[in-house]
Amino acid sequence: MTNSISLKEKIGYGLGGASSSMFWEIFGMYALFFYTDVMGITAAAAGTMFLIARVWDSFFDLFVGVMADRTKTKWGRYRPYLLWFAIPFAAMGAITFFVPEFGSTGKLVYAYISYSLMMIVYSLINVPYASLLGVMSADSQERNIWSSYRMSFAFIGSFVTFMLLQPLVDGYAKLFDKGITPVNADASISTAPIGWTLAVASIGLLCSILFFFCFKWTKERVESASKEENASVKEDLKSLFQNAPWWILVATGLAALLFNAVRDGVAIYYFRDYVQEHYKMPGTGWDFTTIYFLVGQAANLVGVVMAPVLSQKYGKKRTYMVAMLLAAVFSTLFFFVPNNIGWILFMQTIISVCAGYVLPLLWSMFSDIVDYHELKTNRRSSGLIFSSSSMSQKLGWALGSAITGWILFLFHYNPELPKQAMETIFGERLMISLLPAVCCVIAFIGMSFYPLNEKKVKEIATELQRRRIQ
């Protein structure tokens, strides 16, 4: 089937991943800094907000998945959501990164409401997009290729975000708010609120366009092997919660995403407070934090491209476990490297290559879970199962962001200080190295219990194909 699907469709599917990732990186890597240093919310309050909003929204993902599974239009079940919510997706991004002229309590309430609504809209477009992988192809290895296209474009999208966000924020701030007095004058990126609002709005507009092309260039192909369409939501959820491989994959994915969330969320603080090299690349406006992210995304992409090759040779499970083990080792070593930008970027490259293997494998393995679930229940609940992958993603980032905020607060981070205390810097170093290493070890152990090896996946696919031709 691989040869029958055009490059245009593969690119179209990838564009959805780019769009989703462009916004997700903003929220994952810059949101905490925005709330503490631009809006003026304490790190602890922001961390708690992330946890509450995303935990609630994570379970909302299941509702979206169930709803998408039951959607019937001339465009399919999942593709229409890309069209319906592309513009609200961009609009809510700008609203979320807007600073109202309220008091501290009013700002916190606004942050809770706007951030929660943003996550809801993200679910309404990202869950159906993720679910497409389960209905575009019935072949496991082909889905692995689709997943790699998705993640390759996702990392390209992240790369674009890191290239554009800082110059856009700084540029809009200079253009529209020349008299701004920044919350933190030592911040490497402007803290002018107007700069953040317009920068996120600009990136959001680009995301909407990419989702539109994803809708236009993709196609839903795979129907359930069973003609049964009348199962209740309660029955779907009950059968899902009885799916042992699903539980293992959700838990393992949660640990892997927690690893990314903590490392990325603390990076901007780590560079400003520990590295302390105030450098901006000529002609770009990029500081070392942005360069660190860009190096990471480029290295991630190497891992993504290699993931299908290695997983085909060694299996998805084994490739995943080795990648997590290596990421744990090098994350531990990161704590001990000298405070030297060359060493830091070198370690970032190695760790990010390892991390790059993980995400496309996770998404592809969730597709295998869809097949396994259909074999056991005669229901192809692609939306429901992929909503759980989005749930693990959000829970990972929620816990990661919350933990980052709490630890910063625990180590007495104060955005108004020109220089943070040594204990604060020590906490930042822990969060970019040892804590992510622990997450990798947990992911490694969890994956060792995953039962769907390559042989089992092929057997399931063969049986489902037999049922479809009956």
Tell the burial category of 393 from Cβ atoms under 10 Å away from its Cβ (0-12, 13-18, 19+): buried
Residue range 256-269: average pLDDT? 86
Q: How far apart are CA 456 and CA 459, in angstroms?
A: 5
Among 131-145, 178-192, 268-282, whose mean pLDDT is lowest? 178-192
DSSP letter string, 393-436: HHHHHHHHHHHHHHHHHHTT--TT-SS--HHHHHHHHHHTTHHH
Q: Which residue has the higher pLDDT, 53 or 77?
A: 77
What is the pLDDT at residue 374? 84
Average pLDDT of every residue of the chain: 85
Q: How far apart are CA 278 and CA 189, in angstroms?
A: 11
Residue range 349-355: average pLDDT? 93
What is the pLDDT at residue 24? 81
What is the pLDDT at residue 35? 93
Q: How far apart are CA 368 and CA 453, in angstroms?
A: 10
Residue range 457-463: average pLDDT? 85
- In the chain, what are the domain boundaries? 8-468
pLDDT above 60 (res 381): yes
Q: Which of 174-178, 233-237, 458-462 has the highest mean pLDDT?
A: 458-462
Q: Which residue has the higher pLDDT, 469 or 72?
A: 72
pLDDT above 70 (res 3): no
Residue range 275-281: average pLDDT? 74
What is the pLDDT at residue 288? 83
The values of phi and psi at residue 153, to 5°, are -70, -30
Of 3.30.2090.10, 3.40.640.10, 1.20.1250.20, 3.30.390.10, the CATH number of 8-468 is 1.20.1250.20
Residue range 171-180: average pLDDT? 78
What is the pLDDT at residue 185? 45
Q: How far apart are CA 460 and CA 376, in angstroms?
A: 10
pLDDT above 80 (res 289): yes
Tell the burial category of 338 from Cβ atoms under 10 Å away from its Cβ (0-12, 13-18, 19+): exposed
Of the candidates 419, 372, 447, 62, the residue with the CA atom closest to the CA atom of residue 236: 62
End-to-end CA distance of the chain: 20
What is the pLDDT at residue 183? 43
pLDDT above 80 (res 416): no
pLDDT tens digits for 201-212? Answer: 999 999 999 999
Cross-strand bridge partners of residue 76? 73
